Structures are given as C-alpha cells and as structure tokens.
C-alpha cells in the first residue's frame, strides 16, 4: 500500500493573499469590511484580469479601504518567472518560484494545426506524493501543495509570453486531487468572467485516479473536463507504473468513473503512456477495450518521453499506431500524442528536477 504522509499545511499568511480568493470569497471579505458589494468586482478584476501586484494598484478602491486591507495584513502574491525555455518545436517551458522559494513549472504547447491553439499545462503541487515510475516529478521530493493563487498565476505569467491561451490542463507537477480544494478554487477563479474568463470546457483536470475524489468532483457545479491516467488495463502492470494503483484497484476506479458519468453525463479522457514491452501489446489493447467498455471516453496514447533515472523505454511509433488501430476498430476514439519539447526537458518535472539537483545546476536544459 502506498503511504501518504499528511500534506504540508500552508502558512497562515496565505489566507490573506487576495489572489487566493474566489469571487464569492472576495464578496464576503468586502461585506466584512462594510464595503459596497460592487467593490468585489474591482478587486477581483484588477487582480485576475489586469494583474495588479499591489493593493494600491486597485485604484477604483477608496484609499481608506486599501489602507485597511493592507493594515490587516492582506496582500497580493506574485510568482517570479525564474527562466523561460523555448524548444525548436515551439514548446515553451516556464520555471516559477513562489514567495517562499519553492519552484515548479508549466509547459505551453502550440497545436501544429491551422488554428495554432495554445494549451498551458500547469502544476498543482511542488513535487508529488504519487511516485509514478514514468515521471521525473514522482522521483523528486514532495515540497508542498500550491495555493489557488499560485496555480492561477502560472496562467497569468505565461500569458505574457503568448497572445492567448486556449486551454488549461492540470497535468504538470503534482496530483490535482491530492490538493483538491485549491485546485477547484483555482478553476473557479480562472473561469470567472471578471477575471481570466477561461471557459470551463477549456479546462481539464487530470488525475492519477483517486476514486473518492472523482465522485466528489461529480458533485461540483462545474463543467470542467476530467482526464484519468490509466497507463495499463490490469492492476499488476498498473502498479509497476503507478504505486497509487495498489491503494486504488482498477475495479474501484472504474466504478467511480461510472458514478461520475451517471451524475454528469460528461465524457472523460483516458491517458495511456505507451511503454515498450510493458503495456503496448495487442493483448494490452484488448484488455483496455474490455476495461473501459460502457464508458463514454476518448483515449490519448502518449508517446513516452524517456528521462534520466527512468528504466522505461518508449514504444516504437509503429507499435503505437497498431495499438491505436485496434482501439479504433473496436469503436474507441483514440488520439496519439507525440513527444514535445524534448530539447527543453518538457516532460513533467524534468526541468525542476534538473534545477534542484546541484550536480546538474550548471547544465543548460
């Protein structure tokens, strides 16, 4: 069984971070201060649409109101973009530092198609407790959960380097459902029309598959999409890739997904990383078809991105294509996701792992 130590609690000062508050929480704060209700919109929009970094930048707020907020310890946090790396294929990787020096990353992917859609892959934790064998983040040390502000701020920092971001995926460092409340709050913040106004259907939360949180997520009044990292259709193989599978067997996970779908009627995606001689045979494809039968889903076959310290190898492209053909023949919508950003270590956690390892600190990613 996977042992999960309690998540690190935030510093109490975090609750005074105005960027961390949902619109409704800002409304409550304004009411507590005896302010008029419309002031909440000024505060929220100046932080999340105009990227104010100081309370005094929220100029429509009466001076006395600003002074009282500051006097009571309220502030607006700001991520530092430590480095930005651009791959020849157009992928951009951002390394961020929070106020306490904790580092984490986001990756901006540009669709090669006509529409050049931009997807930002964001982190929900600094490090991760799930220890997946295919992931550089999983081998590093878990540091702490990110706040809703730190999650949303990755989008605000990245948007300074591109005209527009079309989609947000919670698929960077960390397991989003291991930081449930902050992740849900950040999605509400990013979606709010007074802020970044990113449509809920353009936001995807990707989980390694924690059944009780999938059921909880079904009860949120959100249209945010759900993706589940499957990587194998049998428990033993899955446990080799994801230790969390020992705690949550596939039968429990599939039952939770079916409950989710009964409640929401929303399609899910399954992420399936293609690993040579482990999960990529025709028999594996048939097992997958059987496992997800009856679920309204699409499968993303991900070309594995090998990295230092990982013994897995990538499946050949012809093997991935065969696997896809078997799924498609069975009526399962399947998309192949090829490796991106290889020259800048764009796989989850690779860049941060490199930076946090003193032996590598002089290497250029």
Alpha carbons 20 and 98: distance in angstroms, whole number: 13
Residues in CB range of 296: below 8 A, 6 or more apart: 261, 267, 268
**In the complex, minimum distance from the CB of residue 227 to ligand SF4, in angstroms, rounded to a whole number:** 11
Smallest separation, CB 256 to ligand SF4 (Å):
16
Report the site for ligand SF4 in 247-306 (rule: CB under 6 A). Answer: none
Angle, CA of 242, 188 and 203, to the nearest 5°? 50
Residue 121 in the binding site for ligand SF4 (CB under 6 A): no
Residue 255 near residue 211 (C-beta atoms within 8 A): yes
Round to whole Å and give the CA distance between 56 and 75: 10
| Buried/exposed 38-52: b ≥16 CB within 10 Å, e otherwise | ebbbbbbbbbbeebb
Task: Write each residue from 163 to 192 as x if it is in contact with ligand SF4 (CB under 6 A), else as -, in one continuous string.
Answer: ----------xxx-----------------
Q: How far is the CB of 245 from ligand SF4 (least distance, A)?
A: 11
Look up 348 and say whether it is catalytic. yes
243 touches ligand SF4 (CB under 6 A): no
Task: Report the alpha-carbon distance of residue 200 to residue 252 in Å, rounded.
Answer: 27
CA distance 265 to 317: 34
For residue 303, indicate whether it is catalytic. Answer: no
Question: With CB under 6 A as the contact rule, which of the stretches 38-46, 91-99, 103-111, 125-133 interacts with ligand SF4?
Answer: 125-133
Binding mask 194-233 for ligand SF4 (x = CB under 6 A): --------------x-------------------------
Using CB under 6 A, which of 128, 155, 253, 320 touches ligand SF4? 128
Using rule CB under 6 A, residue 122 touches ligand SF4? no
Dihedral, 24, 192, 212, 125 alpha carbons, nearest 10 = -100
Whole-angstrom Cα distance, residue 113 to residue 117? Answer: 8
Q: Which CB sits closer to ligand SF4, 56 or 235?
A: 235
Query: Catalytic residue among 27, 105, 182, 271, which?
Result: 105
> Is position 105 an interface residue for ligand SF4 (rule: CB under 6 A)?
no
CA 236, CA 287: separation in Å to the nearest integer? Answer: 13
**Residues in the site for ligand SF4, rule: CB under 6 A?**
128, 130-132, 135, 137-138, 173-175, 208, 348
Catalytic machinery residues:
105, 348
């Amino acid at each position: 069984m996977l042992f999960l130590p309690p998540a690190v609690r935030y510093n109490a000062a975090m609750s005074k971070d105005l960027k961390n508050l949902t619109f409704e929480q800002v409304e409550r704060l304004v009411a507590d201060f005896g302010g008029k209700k419309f002031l909440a919109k000024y505060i929220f929009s100046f932080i999340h649409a105009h990227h104010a970094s100081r309370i005094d930048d929220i100029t429509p707020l009466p001076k006395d109101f600003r002074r009282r907020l500051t006097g009571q310890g309220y502030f607006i946090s700001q991520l530092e973009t430590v480095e930005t790396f651009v791959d020849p294929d157009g992928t951009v990787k951002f390394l961020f530092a929070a106020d306490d020096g904790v580092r984490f990353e986001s990756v901006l992917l540009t669709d090669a198609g006509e529409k050049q859609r931009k997807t930002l892959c964001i982190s929900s934790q600094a490090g991760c407790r799930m220890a997946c064998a295919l992931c550089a983040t999983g081998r590093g040390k878990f540091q702490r959960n990110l706040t809703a502000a730190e999650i949303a701020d990755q989008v605000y920092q990245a948007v300074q380097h591109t005209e527009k971001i079309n989609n947000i995926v919670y698929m960077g460092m960390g397991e989003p459902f291991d930081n449930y409340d902050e992740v849900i709050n950040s999605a509400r913040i990013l979606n709010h029309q007074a802020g970044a106004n990113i449509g809920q259907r353009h936001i995807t939360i990707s989980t390694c598959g924690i059944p009780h949180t999938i059921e909880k997520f079904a009860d949120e009044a959100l249209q945010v999409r759900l993706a589940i990292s499957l990587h194998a259709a049998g428990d033993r193989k899955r446990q080799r890739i994801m230790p969390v599978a020992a705690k949550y067997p596939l039968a429990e996970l599939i039952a939770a997904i079916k409950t989710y779908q009964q409640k929401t009627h929303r399609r899910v995606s399954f992420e399936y990383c293609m690993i040579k001689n482990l999960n990529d045979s025709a028999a594996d494809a048939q097992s997958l078809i059987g496992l997800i039968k009856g679920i309204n889903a699409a499968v993303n076959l991900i070309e594995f991105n090998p990295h230092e310290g990982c013994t897995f190898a990538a499946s050949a492209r012809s093997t991935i294509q065969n696997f896809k053909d078997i799924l498609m023949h069975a009526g399962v919508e399947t998309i192949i996701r090829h490796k991106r950003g290889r020259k800048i270590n764009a796989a989850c956690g690779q860049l941060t792992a490199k930076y946090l390892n003193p032996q590598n600190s002089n290497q250029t990613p």
